[in-house]
Every structure is written in structure tokens, then in C-alpha cells.
Amino acid sequence: MSISNSSIRLRTLTTVMSLVTLMSFFIPAVFRAGGGIGDVVTAVSVVQKTDAGSAAQTEPIPPLVILDAGHGGEDGGAVSADGVSEKTLNLSIVLTLGDMLEAAGVPVVYTRTEDNGLYDGASPGHRKMTDLKNRLAVRQKYPEAVFLSVHMNTFSAAQYHGMQVFYSKNDERSKLLADLIRETNRTYLQPDNERVCKAADSSIYLLDRSGGCAVLTECGFLSNPEEAASLSDPAYREKVAGVLCASVLQYLYGNESIERTTQ
Ligand SMILES: [Zn+2]
């Protein structure tokens, strides 16, 4: 199993600035007060500052966010008619999302940053479960972190499309984040998306076994040609990452009580 801490993934200032600019499109609430590239970082990082009136009392640091790109390695996940594998799109969105969150001062850990599964050493018949258990182990290593898994959907009938979010029923904060993702997506990306968030059953192993805030976003259907084409476009995937980033920031900082309970 390889767990890569995002802190070693360096980005140029230009890249970070462009990411924050993209984020500003999705985070009007943050920019309403001042408006500017620096404001979003300032607005977020102020939470980390020490209370000037009490040296011993420090403000909470931002909670860790675990980003889980579904599948990887020999497990490609869903595949579009054009042969695009889910695992590649998941990773692309997760890495962009991680850059956005880090630009906003939120620490990130990834379950994978390359095209690999987390099943080293397992026999072929045990690789899928080994992979899932290792992902769950990352989650359990940081039990208070926000856990966000990114996947693509597929179905036998091609007409179905649209993002859908699943949440762990083990902690009520999970539904809160799921609903934020749904509403942010409807506001900025898919206004006609009527899909409701669903509680994960035992078929979604990671959410079924996870404590804390844990959600899984199916970003779209690769079985739908139009949506598969969109998801194959890097610019569209950046928008999906922007929706997820804005939702996580809203979850962490949009409500004082939410922020406190995630510490
Ligand atoms: Zn998947």
C-alpha cells in the first residue's frame, strides 16, 4: 500500500493562482465579502490563527481531508463506449481537487496518486477486498478527517446521467456534506439534476464501514455518451473538482458549529 502525502506534490505559484481563480467561480459566498484571489486563502487560513488574547488558546487547525480515487491498477472500474476507464477520470478529479483544497489551506491525504490499486501482495482473488480494506485503513488512521471518495457511474441503459452522492449512515455529518455537494452541483454545474443523496448500504464497503464524515460521489455516468464525453474533457473535470472543493470548504467553514464538531 502506498499512501502519498500531498505536501510533497509541489505546484508552481501560477498553477495555484489559477486554481484559486477557478475556485472563486464556485465559491461566491467566500468572495462576496471582498472578492480577490487572496481572500479565499485568507478567509480560510484565519481559522488557523492563534487567538491574540490568549496565547494558550489556539484556533482549530483545518481538519484533514482524505481523497480517495476509486479503482486503479488492474481494476479500471466503469468504462465508457470510447474506452475511457473510470480509474483515470477519478484520479484526475481527485488530484485537481487536492490542489484546490491545499491552495485554500486544507491539508489533504490521498489513498492513491498514481495508477495503482492498494492490493500489493494479494492473490488475484483477494485483490479487490484487500484494496478496499487498505483504503479503509487510511480512513481509520485519520478518524476525524473528512473522507471523500470519487467514482464514475455506469448503467445498462444509456439515457441515465447526472452526479449522485452517497453518504455513510454512521455519522449524520456525512449527509450534511452529501447535500452540500448535491446543491453546489445543481447551482453551478447541473441545474436539472434531480438525483437525491442516498445512504450507503453494505454494498458500498468504505462508507458502510467508515465512521465520521464520509461520502462517495458518482460524478456521472460513463454509460451515457454525452456525459462520458464531458467527463473526458479536462476542463469539465476541473469544474467537477470545483464543485467538490466548494462543497468541502462550505462544510468545513460555512457554519461555525459544523467546523467545531469536526475537530
Ligand atoms: Zn467506481
- pLDDT tens digits, residue range 3-50? 444 333 434 333 444 444 545 555 544 333 333 323 333 333 333 333
Nearest-5° Cα angle at 245, 153 to 7: 105
Computed over every residue of the chain, the mean pLDDT equals: 82
**What's the gap in Å between 70 CA and the centre of ligand 1?**
5
Residues with CB under 5 A from ligand 1 (ion): 70, 77, 151
Q: What is the DSSP letter of 56?
A: T
Name the residue with cell 445498462: 156
**What's the gap in Å between 30 CA and the centre of ligand 1?**
32
- Which residues contact residue 156 at a Cβ distance below 8 angstroms, ignoring those fewer than 6 apart? 223
**What's the gap in Å between 191 CA and the centre of ligand 1?**
24
Q: Are 77 and 87 in contact (CB under 8 A)?
A: yes
Q: What is the DSSP letter of 155?
A: -
pLDDT at 24: 54
**What's the gap in Å between 153 CA and the centre of ligand 1?**
6
Q: pTM for this structure?
A: 0.79
> 37-45 vs 13-26: helix axis angle to the nearest 10?
80
Whether 75 shows a pLDDT value over 90: the answer reads yes
**What's the gap in Å between 226 CA and the centre of ligand 1?**
19
Whether 160 shows a pLDDT value over 80: the answer reads yes
CATH 3.40.630.40 assigned to 4-261: yes
**What's the gap in Å between 216 CA and the centre of ligand 1?**
9
User: In terms of DSSP H, where are the helices of the chain?
Assistant: 13-26, 28-32, 37-45, 86-103, 127-141, 172-188, 205-209, 225-231, 234-253, 256-261
β-bridge mates for residue 218, sequence order? 151, 164
pLDDT at 58: 53
Q: Are 218 and 163 in contact (CB under 8 A)?
A: yes
Q: Which helix (H) or strand (E) covers residue 146, if one does? A: strand 146-153
Higher pLDDT, 254 or 117: 117
